[in-house]
Amino acid sequence: MSENKKKLFFYKEYIKKNLSKKIKPIITEKAIYCNISNNYYTFLFPIYFNKKDISKYLNRVYRINITKLHTNIYYKKKINKRILKKTFAGKKQKFKKAFFQVKYF
Split into its structural domains, the chain has a count of 1
Residue at 6 is within a domain: no
Do 102 and 58 meet the contact criterion of CB atoms below 8 Å apart? no
Nearest to residue 99, comparing CAs of 60, 41, 59, 31?
Answer: 41
Q: How far, in Å, CA of 41 to CA of 26, rounded?
A: 8
In a domain, 59, yes or no: yes
Q: Which residue segment(s) compose the domain that 70 sits in? A: 23-102
pTM (2 d.p.): 0.67
Helix (H) or strand (E) run with residue 36 in it: helix 29-38
**Residue 15 belongs to some domain of the structure:** no
CATH number at 58 reads 3.30.70.330
Task: Write the pLDDT tens digit of every residue in 57-105.
Answer: 888 888 888 999 999 998 888 888 888 888 878 887 888 999 999 877 5
Does 16 fall in a domain?
no
Q: What is the pLDDT of residues 42-65, one digit of tens each?
A: 999 988 889 998 898 888 888 888
Residue 13 lies in a domain: no
Angle at 35 between CA 102 and CA 98, to 5 degrees: 65
